[in-house]
Amino acid sequence: MLTLLGSTLAATVIAAHAPVIRLPAPGMEGQTLALHCVEPPRASDEAVLFIHGASFPTLLAAGFEFEGGDSWMDFMAARGFLACGLDFLGFGASSRPVAMSVSPVGVAPLGQAVDTALQIGAAVDYLRNKRGIKRLHVVAHSWGTVPAGVYAATHPATLTSLTLFGPIVPAAGSRSEDIRYAWWSISAQERYRQLLFADALPHGMHLLESAVDRRWASEFAASGPGKMKGVENPLEIPAGPLADINAVKANRYPYSQQDVRIPVFVVYGDYDTEVNDTGAKDFLSRFQASPLKWRLCIDHGTHVMHLERNRKSLYQSEVAFIAAVDRESGGTVD
């Protein structure tokens, strides 16, 4: 059962977690990106940058607080990392492009991987140049693995590792279809229902954390710009990720995995509808220049395992991977 929080309370929940750093959006005069960061107990030159998926922003994903101070970002910060999450343009606390305020029909899809990789670059530049980060680990989810891959392939010296959680991979029989609209919309309540993965899970299995059942839809409704929306009202979402997903499923990537020269970790749940053992193994094999490759399937997890009861297994696997990366390269991890 969904409970809609009052507008003031919901806005307070979102604003209170992970202070927002505003960054100029590359190539978009007057537009800003939101970078949410949770500070570690002690200053650190090692950071984790979370990249969200196709339809909901940082504070509904790696930054979602199940209880006070209990998000994936909080978990990593408590272990000594500066933990940050980027909202792409058109999502969360970042600016909405002008094209999202007019009819989407007949307009090129907004926010495809080549453009959003530049936005990742803005966050990386800030962390390296303004915060003194020397070791930077990117953790990307779902569609976010595509622009993260583009960035890693074109900037081989700026990242320390790349984790691809629930990556989009080629699907047999898929054909790329043109997306001829700039944005699409969905209500918060409908997006919540999709998180249940009722068609993928055995009858009666419910994996979402109770806090997601109680609050996620109302906080998603509050994540849009302007006046608070109800959970049944549509929220506008850039369509570029849909175009990228269509292309990748048809085996057309906007980057070459062979150009990624850092350690790569592919992690997913056994009920993930986008990737399975065969797809993950084939996908990871493409990263031929990576000096360290990990692959892990976690039982009882779907495509949104970071919002589910086994999320701590996901969190711990990332800590273990980073520790292995740091040992290989002579770094340290708390």
Has residue 1 been placed in a domain?
no
| Alpha helix (H) residue ranges in the chain | 7-16, 72-78, 113-125, 145-154, 188-195, 210-211, 217-221, 240-249, 277-285, 311-329
Residue 313: inside a domain = yes
**Which residues lie below 8 Å from residue 243, measured CB to CB, with a gap of 6+?**
109, 112, 178, 179
The pLDDT value recorded for residue 75 is 98
Examine residue 69 and state whether it is found in any structural domain, yes or no.
yes
pLDDT for 42: 96
Domain-embedded: residue 141: yes
Q: Is residue 295 part of a domain?
A: yes
The amino acid present at 3, given as its one-letter code, is T
Closest CA to 48 of 36, 31, 64: 36
pLDDT on residue 175: 80
Whether residue 225 is contained in a domain is answered as yes
Reading the block at residue 295, the tokens are 């692959």
Residue 228 lies in a domain: yes
Tally of domains within the chain:
1
What pTM does this model have? 0.93
Range of the domain at 202: 7-329
CATH number for position 226: 3.40.50.1820
pLDDT averaged over 10-residue windows placed end to end, the chain, 334 residues: 31 53 94 97 97 98 94 97 98 95 95 98 98 98 98 96 98 85 96 98 97 97 77 94 97 97 98 98 98 98 98 98 90 46
User: What φ, ψ does residue 11 adopt, rounded to 5°?
Assistant: -65, -35
Residue 156 pLDDT: 87
Residue 334 resides in a domain = no
